[in-house]
Chain A
């Protein structure tokens, strides 16, 4: 192919796919670049949350009995419901991406709105969970008190020592160690919640765009923003897939 022919060929491709960037030869190449870039971002997010998971694991190992007692104050039904809601939202997100790929803007809009709906349910549940922790003085600040943890686990306190069955711990240390658990709980679920919130905002922008594409009957809209948001959304789901058993379930019975 001569240079002139190649240019003609490219010009034709650009005519058919108006959103093809001039630095790319084909739309497949452009889409691949999008995907790789997004994965590079997700990889650093994995390491970001990974650091928190690693330090949580180390302290849970170190203060096992105190952490297990604190585990029990978290609500498994709420955690399960939120996992359910996020998994369904991942499904609706995948359907939105599928609709975007097929240029079915109306369907795309519908599934984006469903995803926002489930994400909002997640946030509302989180609000109820956080406020219950607040009422029980389990927010790790100056007014933190391990009373609820002691009460919930029917632990005995004698002479300033908390009886954990396997060993006795001074009340002050017990307070500090359970407070550490709640610091992990709030930082990890808080950062995750922040990601959900950012996701909702991006999904809302995509929904508006899908609505405009639908109204204008755009034949070849760029579906990659939806697919990349999908990658982000599924990643947020994956973080919760690990947070749920590690924080809510691993208390043992």
Chain B
């Protein structure tokens, strides 16, 4: 029997890769808490908090969840999920934002 050892192909990365990812996430956590205590208009506070949250989530998805190293099909599935989420947000918000545009009488 041929004794070629079958090495499985894995997504394992060097330890430093995971450590650096954690440091970046911690830095973003500090920034988001600091920003939360700054005086700013509500819309700006939301924009800053959400930008940082989306950045953190993207880093977790790419590095910790290994999507960076996964197949194109995995990319498609992960991407489709967030695309559908955007559709749900867009339609729900568009509905609520436009409700008072309709004449109230007769409804």
Contact = CB atoms under 8 A, between A and B. Distances in A.
Those 7 A-B pairs whose CB atoms lie nearest each other, nearest first: A43-B81, A249-B36, A245-B49, A39-B77, A101-B10, A101-B12, A91-B22
Contacts of B63: 94
A93 B64 CA distance: 9
Contacts of B64: 90-91, 93-94, 230, 234, 237
A140 B104 CA distance: 32
A157 to B, nearest CB: 24
B42 interface: yes
A101 B15 CA distance: 13
B72 to A, nearest CB: 10
A131 interface: no
Nearest to A243: B53
B49 A249 contact: yes
A95 B93 contact: no
Interface in B80-107: 80-82, 84-85, 88-89, 92-93, 96
Interface of A: 12-13, 16-17, 27-28, 32, 35-36, 39-40, 42-43, 46-47, 50-51, 54-55, 57-58, 61, 64, 68, 76, 80, 83-84, 87-88, 90-91, 93-95, 97-98, 101-102, 220, 223, 227, 230-231, 234-235, 237-238, 241-242, 244-246, 248-253
Contact of B61 (A28, A68, A238): A238
A241 B57 contact: yes
Nearest to B91: A54
A241 B81 contact: no
Given A94-B21, A238-B57, A241-B60, 12 more contacts: A13-B6, A32-B73, A35-B71, A35-B74, A36-B73, A43-B78, A80-B29, A87-B26, A94-B63, A102-B10, A227-B11, A249-B33
A123 B34 CA distance: 25
Interface residues of B, number: 55
B73 A47 contact: no
B77 A43 contact: yes
17 contacts: A17-B8, A43-B84, A47-B81, A54-B88, A54-B92, A68-B42, A87-B22, A90-B60, A94-B21, A94-B63, A101-B11, A102-B12, A231-B65, A234-B61, A244-B53, A245-B49, A250-B46
B88 A39 contact: no
Contacts of A51: 88
Contacts of A55: 92
Contacts of B73: 32, 36
